[in-house]
Structure 1
Amino acid sequence: MTITVRRSGPRDREAILALMKASRGDGLSAAERAERGFVQGNMDEDVLTRFEEGTGVFVAEEGGALAGFAMTSEPGAMSSGPPRLAVDAVGEGAGRLFLYGPAAVDPRYQGRGVLTMLLTALSRELRDRFALGVAFVEAANAKSLAVHRHYGMTEAATFVFDSRDYCVFTFAPDEFADRG
């Protein structure tokens, strides 16, 4: 079967939230979480709905099964904590920007280019409205750091929140729109 990517909607919310919860790495040691990667934060259906109605949440699926998701949001969608600090770290001079993340790929689909497909689709959709995508990754998340570096995203800044170190990555959606 073929993996396809599209914007999510109400029928996808339960599966997205379930994959997000499963991707948190709860119950794993710090070393296991670092190696496998993990999704931060909690999200409920109301926040997910706001993201969907804004810049969008993108899903990859195969035969109706969720393979992965990538969320995007306007800088003001989350007005505090790491999202706000990431935007502040990049600064107003960067041009019109959106937040990228969280993103997760179901383990059964990892290694099949799902994240590349998601990044390409969201970049195509957002490149005419935004100059820059901004992501933040906890320094303890070795897998996610490696993935962002693999994609050639710019390590633009660092910050500390709640005694945890974060790295801010940026990318131009124009540069990602033709990948895949």
Structure 2
Amino acid sequence: MATTFRRSQAHDREAILHLMEEARGEGLTNEEKSQQGFVQGPMDQDILGRLESGPGIFVAEVNGEMAGFAMSAEKHHIVHNPPAIKAMTEAAATDPHLNQFLYGPTAVARAYQGQGILTGLLVAISAHLSANFDQGVAFVETTNRKSLSVHRHYGMTELASFEIAGREYIPFVFSPKLFQSPERAELLAAVTNLSPLRK
């Protein structure tokens, strides 16, 4: 199984949107969504284009098939997502001097879950952004137990929760160095087309 990780391009947008729709958990009960994990928030071709112009969207391919994606953005790219802005604001309050990027949303196709795809995407993001960013910031709705478990498993730092429109979210912060350890060298070797980001 040949797995590669790279920055997305315009021709990937349709596949990313399709995978994101699958990951929303439509038709599942709230309990099923909580157990399986879900993504949320608005997304369309225009938003994807705006995110591509920033730190970038990263995709995983297995034998040329889209297996997963992870988005990253700076604060001015995410005007479409109030919880994301709030998460970055909360994280910045701990140290306003840190240069931060937003991590997420992310999704892995069901056929490829449990095979290291998400870890590889985090390695790719960290490899690409570590020269220019001190910290990644993610946010997870508290009803999304699967996502909370994943972020805690990776050792990200959990901050105080906040509420928007009756929904509670938890911000997580991490240094890109967290995903650049020697034991992840094999995944790093699978990262393609990722020259260091220059601002």
Category of TM-score, reference length = shorter chain: over 0.9
Match of 1:82 in 2: 83
Q: How does 1:156-175 map to 2 (within 5 A)?
A: 156-175=159-178
TM-score of the aligned structures, taking structure 2 as reference length: 0.88
Match of 2:191 in 1: none
Q: 1:77 corresponds to which letter in structure 2?
A: H
* Residue identity in the other structure for 2:92: G
What is the 5 A alignment of 1:55-134? Answer: 55-79=55-79, 81-92=82-93, 93-94=95-96, 95-134=98-137
Number of matched pairs: 180
Aligned equivalent of 2:21: 21
Q: CA deviation at 1:87?
A: 1.1
Structure 1: gaps of 5 or more residues: none
Give the TM-score normalised by the residue count of structure 1: 0.97
Q: Deviations over 1:105-138 (max 9, x none)?
A: 0000001000000000110000010000000000
Q: 1:150 is matched with which residue: 148, 153, 164?
A: 153
Task: Report the secondary structure of 1:157's partner residue.
Answer: coil
Whole-angstrom distance in 2 between the partners of 1:127 and 1:147: 21
8 Å contact kept, 1:131–1:172: yes
Distance, in Å, in 2 between the alignment partners of 1:156 and 1:76 is: 22
Unmatched 5+ residue regions in structure 2? 188-199
Deviates more, 1:153-162 or 1:114-123: 153-162
Amino acid at match of 2:131: D
RMSD: 1.1
- Fraction of identical pairs, as percent: 51
- Aligned amino acid, residue 49 of structure 1: G
Which of 141, 145, 150 lines up with 2:144 in the alignment? Answer: 141
Aligned mates of 1:25, 1:175 — CA distance in 2: 30
- Distance in 1 between residues matched to 2:110 and 2:14, nearest whole Å: 18
Question: Any conservation in 2 of the 1:51–1:57 contact (CA below 8 Å)?
Answer: yes
Moved more, 49-58 or 92-101: 92-101
Q: Distance in 2 between matches of 1:3 and 1:161?
A: 38
Q: CA deviation at 1:71?
A: 0.2
- Indicate the residue corresponding to 2:51 in structure 1: 51
Give the corresponding residue for 2:6: 6
Offset, 1:53: 1.4
Report the Cα distance in structure 2 between the residues aligned to 1:135 and 1:5, rounded to whole angstroms.
20
